[in-house]
Chains A and B, each alone.
Chain A
Amino acid sequence: MSVQAAPIATTSTARRALGRLAWTLVPAAPFVIVTLIWIMATGILNPSKETLPPVTDVLASIKELALSGQLATNVVASLYRLLLGSILGIVTGLIGGVIVGLNRKLAESLNPVVVFFNAISGIVWLPLMITWLGIGNALAVFLIWNTVFFIVFQNAALGVQLVPEVYEQGVRALGGGRWQTMRSVILPGALPYILTGIRTGLGFGWRALIAAELVGAATGLGTMIFDAAEYHRSDIIVAGCLIIGVIAIVMDRWLLLPIERRTVRRWGLVADTEKE
């Protein structure tokens, strides 16, 4: 009774439905605009196929790559390296981060080294590691491990340090031992940071992998792009970039974000910045 229908009801219902539709469709707008500009650019400027391949060529080459099995081979090779390197990075980063997070003295003395090696993490190691490991999986896995490790390590250490001491004291007061506190306080308390670290780390790892594959591998999406450049096949380069972006988005949005949401946000531990 306190809320009354207004005379402007009819127009605003239509407008609202329209607004909702716009809200749903709006994320596609930049992609559509860029595609249109691309189509117009190829149509009007008529550049050579090397400079700017037409949209149709890129779609055709995606289809061709997919049908020939080349795409699957390269995607699998890249994802395999990412998986291996990330698992190594997450496990070592987690163990190291928790240990350092729990031990203030150790944290203080190790910090300079961590800061320095973090500054050269990833791609900077490429020349040295090509010399030591040669071209291949080991090189890519090392670079991913090196990238993921520092991000997970720093986040885990920070997360552990930020767990309020009261929680720990609460479990101690209930008679909990060191392991008990670890399992029921430290790890869940640090989880938001750990998950953020893993999610961020995988994003960085993916980018480091593509860079590593440009020169340091015989298969993989990065190699595919780089080889295409030799033959000036711009359509394959663009197709490869699109596929790389799609995989990154799918990984982040549909795999890592839901995990983060389901565990951490449910506990209300992290300010939900995802709402619109």
Chain B
Amino acid sequence: MDAAANAEKIAVSGFRHFFDTEDGPVQATGVVDLKIRAGEFVTLVGPSGCGKTTLLKAMAGFIRPTEGTIHCDGKLVTKPGRERGVVFQELAILPWRTVRRNIGHGLEIAGVPKVEREEKVTRLIDLIGLGGFEDRYPHELSGGMRQRVAVARTWAADPDVILMDEPFAAVDAMTRLTLQEELGRLCVATRKTVFFITHSVDEAVFLGDRVLVMTRRPGTIKAEIDIPRRAAGGRDWESFTTDVEMQGIAERVLKLVRAERGLTPAEEARAAAGAGA
């Protein structure tokens, strides 16, 4: 979609963040430097509490980094913006809006006329397979359907960059596989720049063009693995699990992540009590 395919979309430089807590400031992340090219799907894996979510929240503009800067399209990120969509781990669609009105919410905020909005929303609803559920409220849907709505809402607003924070962590294992495949297809179809956080190695390798591995708290990026390009639309679990090369990569990433899991229970608890994710 973007002509300058290799253009730098997001640049994180010298990022470091501290949280103010009851017991004094806690370092949430180490120094992070990171560049994401336009149209790239970058996944980030790391142990719980390593600061993944903190980094994503800073990229979204929800928190101001203690140190360092984040640029999007060369502009300094200081607050949330329409060009950077976010899909949350927790269900963030509004219970008082129907599927249709949730998905169209971003467009509504942007002031898109109703007819145009409806058209776009209908197309997305078909794409994510929620036809027939347009006028249902979230509490009437299954967990997987709700997360589809959340993803569709972000996509409908048509941001350049999509930040996803373990969006499938709360759905059941079977549904998760389907959602991951759908997301893969959606990304191939729309060529968005995606930054995706997960603690599942398989998910990271399956979805990413590039996988980043973070150390335990305070997290820094310790490794970067390029995933060989697949044929368009070729992201499905069956071929992934039978692909020897992919499995080799997944194993390598797993080893890197495993090495970070050496926390004592006390450290684990402290990590969990802090920034989360």
Contact = CB atoms under 8 A, between A and B. Distances in A.
A and B assemble together: yes
A3 B18 contact: no
Interface stretch (A8-16, A63-71, A175-183, A200-208): A8-16
Given A8-B25, A8-B66, A9-B25, A3 B20 contact: no
A3 B267 CA distance: 9
B32 interface: no
A253 to B, nearest CB: 25
Given A16-B22, A16-B24, A2 B218 contact: yes
Contact of B27 (A4, A12, A13): A4
Interface string A4-27: 111011001101100000000000
Nearest to B267: A2
B35 interface: no
B220 to A, nearest CB: 12
A2 B265 CA distance: 12
A93 B24 CA distance: 51
A235 to B, nearest CB: 45
B271 interface: yes
Q: Most chain-A Cβ atoms within 10 A of its Cβ — which of B20, B216, B263, B270? A: B20
Nearest to B17: A6
Contacts of B263: 2
Contact of A16 (B20, B26, B66): B20
Interface residues of B, number: 16
Contacts of B100: none
A6 B19 CA distance: 10
A171 to B, nearest CB: 34
Contact of B18 (A2, A8, A13): A8
Contacts of A8: 18, 25, 66
B50 to A, nearest CB: 9
Q: Most chain-B Cβ atoms within 10 A of its Cβ — which of A1, A6, A16? A: A6
B217 interface: yes
Contacts of B66: 6, 8
Contact of B270 (A3, A5, A15): A3
A265 B217 CA distance: 35
A3 B26 contact: yes
Contacts of B25: 5-6, 8-9, 12
A4 B24 contact: no
A13 B20 CA distance: 9
Given A2-B271, A9-B24, 14 more contacts: A2-B218, A2-B270, A3-B26, A3-B27, A3-B270, A4-B27, A5-B25, A6-B18, A6-B25, A6-B27, A6-B66, A8-B18, A15-B20, A16-B20
17 contacts: A2-B216, A2-B263, A2-B267, A2-B270, A2-B271, A3-B26, A4-B27, A4-B218, A6-B18, A6-B25, A6-B26, A8-B66, A12-B25, A15-B20, A16-B20, A16-B22, A16-B24
Sorted nearest first, the 3 A-B pairs with minimum C-beta distance are: A6-B25, A6-B18, A4-B27
Interface of A: 1-6, 8-9, 12-13, 15-16
